[in-house]
Structure 1
Amino acid sequence: MKILLDSHFFYPSVGGVEMMSEGLARAWESQDHRVTVVTDTPRNGHEELRDLEVVRGPSIGKRIRLAQWADVFVRSGNSLKSLPWPVLTGTPHVTIHHRPLAESHMGSVRRLMERGATYLCHNVAVSTAVAETIPGRTITIPNTFRTTFDQPGADEENREGLLLVGRLVSRKGVDVAIEALHHLRNKGVEQTLTICGDGPERETLEAKVRQIGLEDPIRFEGWTSPEELTEKYRTASVTLVPSRKEPFGIVALESIASRCPVVASDVGGLPEAVGDCGILTEPEHPEALADGIEQALRPDVRESLHAAMPEHVDRHRIDCIADEYIDVLHSVANGAEG
């Protein structure tokens, strides 16, 4: 099957969409499908991926020819910019929704168009929470995780401290994690927190840490490479995902693949990402997060969480996820309505 994958965000940019797009493209290629990736992301001096055909910033004519070539057109994201090409060429197409669609309001033409576009294709949502916002026909296929974090041999020895990985923005709830650590200290529970990530809220968060006197147990490490994160997941006691909003929660999956339990907000796609491998808590509630951390540190609870991890990780491996997509793409390419 000839697959054209249009991913506005792609290597060398770093993020969940980029990871999913590259992982799916490689997996489909390994299954003997012919895959071409179209992206507007420039290389910016990085070497091109040698084992994938990537077309960057093509002309209108090139986009049309590629759409005509493909048996199925896959849009990674609901960008209206990529919509005309499968529509003009009549190429069957699938849209992968990584985020919820915003509600349409009177006068919001773009939102109306984005929602209307879901009736022109088959839609795949990365979580039930995302699927519920899409008016067109939709199925759910979860995200995968980077294979570098697949650490089935990681054990309970030499694990200590809490870990938080993510962009330092309000929706990630880093401030809630800081408050939770403060609550634990007031209860006599001493824990460290390592924060890996950067963003516009960093200065504000660092000031908050100083204000409540937690400079020693809380460390801001900035952007952290996947190789460094591999070690941090393997040695942390618990990973925190205290998000206010989260379409899925790849960090939770990465942690679980490294056999590190998760304490996460009960919002969006996080319940599906966490499964039975972590503790879900009320969002924006530091006391609840602190209670969840204490629970996840108990040996009997950790034993139960670890027992659930192998099956959960297997469910989200790239080969499994890619196969589910191929079933959908075959169906769409062959004109099926399901």
Structure 2
Amino acid sequence: MRIGVDGRELAGSARTGIGRYVMEVLRAASRDGWECVVYGDARTRPVTLPGVTLRVLDGRWTQCWDQVMLPRQLARDRVSAFLSPYYKGPLFAPCPVVLTIHDLFFLDYPGRRRPLHRAMMTRVARLYARRATAIIADSEYSKRTIVERLGITPASVTVIPVALGAEFRPEPGTEAVRSRYAISDPYILYVGNFRPHKNLPRLIRAFAALDAPLRGRHVLVLAGGDRANRPALEALAKGLGVADRVVFPGQVHDADLPALYSACALFVLPSLEEGFGLPALEALACGAAVVAADRAAIPEVVGDAGLLVDPEDEAAIAAAITRVLSTPELRESLRRRGLERAREFPHDRTAGAVLALLRRVSEPR
């Protein structure tokens, strides 16, 4: 079995969720003795795994790389099946193509009206989806959205949840990590980017609405390297008089995330839209109590292991935060339930399911 994988996400020192997904699949394929050809460009770093080969294709124009260079090389390499970690892939490939559609933000970003862009990208995405042999979605919510928006049959979409890294588990000895990011008080944690769909202005306003004694005992930590959207949040915190209680530690190193999750008093994910909601799962796996939005795919991930709230109701967010921080028995119960919930997402399940799908589509029909 020889598979091809689009490896352009493995660029330099940058680490992304899609990059982690690609590496999990490559590691599993290598362990199973499969041959893997990773197709990249000049920025793609080599992958040092048995049976894995990097093929650098010269193509400065993305469409040329996707639709001309890649199909030619797939034919030369006699690849059995090709995995794209994106919504797009070669339209005329010499082998079955499996796409991975994490969400449909590229069609119509929440809160931004671009009708011409939406119409054009929807037509393009429908073409890619209909030409693909199979499509992977992260959640049942994403599957329903893909089927509805792209007009494809439900049978062509397979739900494979995002992999939870094995490193996400309760981690003691977190003082050094807290010191590194200048976090001293008990803290409420958010991890992610600061784009509008993450709903952080409402979280900041909910934090500002907490009773003064409770707010005075905690800080709100918004962890993420989103420099473009950070100033507006800082200005909001200042305007509400809580700038000294809202901490922006910047980008947190991957190795520090388990400790940061483990030490928080509460993790909050108030997003209006998520194709999966991986930070909530990571927090559960590290033993954090979780309050999360009752929207999109988040309830699928959190289940009954966290408190789900209406993310557009600031009073409800504040009430849930207050309830968890003021009730040690509830917080401990949520921690236990979260650890149990996280065990339903073993780190090797995703990669194994992806390999099974690749094997299935490569079999003669």
TM-score range, shorter chain: 0.7 to 0.9
What is residue 229 of structure 2 aligned with on the other side?
201
**Structure 1: gaps of 5 or more residues:** none
State how far apart, in whole Å, the 2-side matches of 1:113 and 1:206 are.
38
Q: Please state how far the C-alpha of 1:129 moved relative to its aligned partner.
A: 1.7
Give the aligned residue type for 1:126: D
Q: Any conservation in 1 of the 2:25–2:355 contact (CA below 8 Å)?
A: no
Q: Residues 41-89 of structure 1: CA distance to partner in whole angstroms, max 9, x if unpaired?
A: 715xxx643225333444544652235521111111112xx323xx331
3-state secondary structure, aligned to 2:39: strand
State how far apart, in whole Å, the 2-side matches of 1:274 and 1:94 are.
28
Q: Any conservation in 2 of the 1:264–1:281 contact (CA below 8 Å)?
A: yes
Give the aligned residue type for 1:27: A
Give the aligned residue type for 1:151: P
Give the aligned residue type for 2:223: C
Report the number of matched residues: 326
What is residue 99 of structure 1 aligned with on the other side?
103
Structure 1 residues 131 and 29: alpha-carbon distance in aligned structure 2, compared to 1, 3 A threshold: same
Please tell me whether residue 83 in structure 1 is matched to residue 102 in structure 2.
Answer: no
Within 5 A, what are the aligned runs for 1:327-338?
327-335=356-364
Structure 1 residues 263 and 2: alpha-carbon distance in aligned structure 2, compared to 1, 3 A threshold: same
3-state secondary structure, aligned to 1:149: coil
Q: Please state how far the C-alpha of 1:117 moved relative to its aligned partner.
A: 2.6
What is residue 349 of structure 2 aligned with on the other side?
320
3-state secondary structure, aligned to 1:134: helix
Q: Residues 122-158 of structure 1: CA distance to partner in whole angstroms, max 9, x if unpaired?
A: 1110011211122332121110123322337799xx9
Q: Any conservation in 2 of the 1:161–1:236 contact (CA below 8 Å)?
A: yes
Within 5 A, what are the aligned runs for 1:264-303?
264-297=292-325, 298-303=327-332
What is residue 49 of structure 1 aligned with on the other side?
47
The percentage of counterpart residues that share the same residue type is: 24
Q: Any conservation in 2 of the 1:162–1:237 contact (CA below 8 Å)?
A: yes
What is residue 113 of structure 1 aligned with on the other side?
124
Q: Any conservation in 1 of the 2:265–2:288 contact (CA below 8 Å)?
A: yes
3-state secondary structure, aligned to 2:296: coil
3-state secondary structure, aligned to 2:83: strand
State how far apart, in whole Å, the 2-side matches of 1:237 and 1:57 are.
48
Q: Residues 291-335 of structure 1: CA distance to partner in whole angstroms, max 9, x if unpaired?
A: 222233323323432333344323222211222222222211114
Structure 1 residues 147 and 154: alpha-carbon distance in aligned structure 2, compared to 1, 3 A threshold: farther
State how far apart, in whole Å, the 2-side matches of 1:62 and 1:138 are.
24
Deviating more after overlay: 327-336 vs 134-143: 327-336
Aligned alpha-carbon RMSD (Å): 2.8
Q: Please state how far the C-alpha of 1:236 moved relative to its aligned partner.
A: 0.3
Structure 1 residues 175 and 41: alpha-carbon distance in aligned structure 2, compared to 1, 3 A threshold: farther
Q: Please state how far the C-alpha of 1:271 moved relative to its aligned partner.
A: 1.3
3-state secondary structure, aligned to 2:210: helix
Structure 1 residues 9 and 174: alpha-carbon distance in aligned structure 2, compared to 1, 3 A threshold: same
Give the aligned residue type for 2:93: L
**If the length of structure 2 is used for normalisation, what is the TM-score?**
0.80
**Structure 2: gaps of 5 or more residues:** 60-67, 109-114, 175-183
What is residue 337 of structure 2 aligned with on the other side?
308
Q: Any conservation in 2 of the 1:13–1:41 contact (CA below 8 Å)?
A: no
Structure 1 residues 114 and 195: alpha-carbon distance in aligned structure 2, compared to 1, 3 A threshold: same
3-state secondary structure, aligned to 1:53: strand
Structure 1 residues 64 and 7: alpha-carbon distance in aligned structure 2, compared to 1, 3 A threshold: same
State how far apart, in whole Å, the 2-side matches of 1:244 and 1:40 are.
35
3-state secondary structure, aligned to 2:136: strand
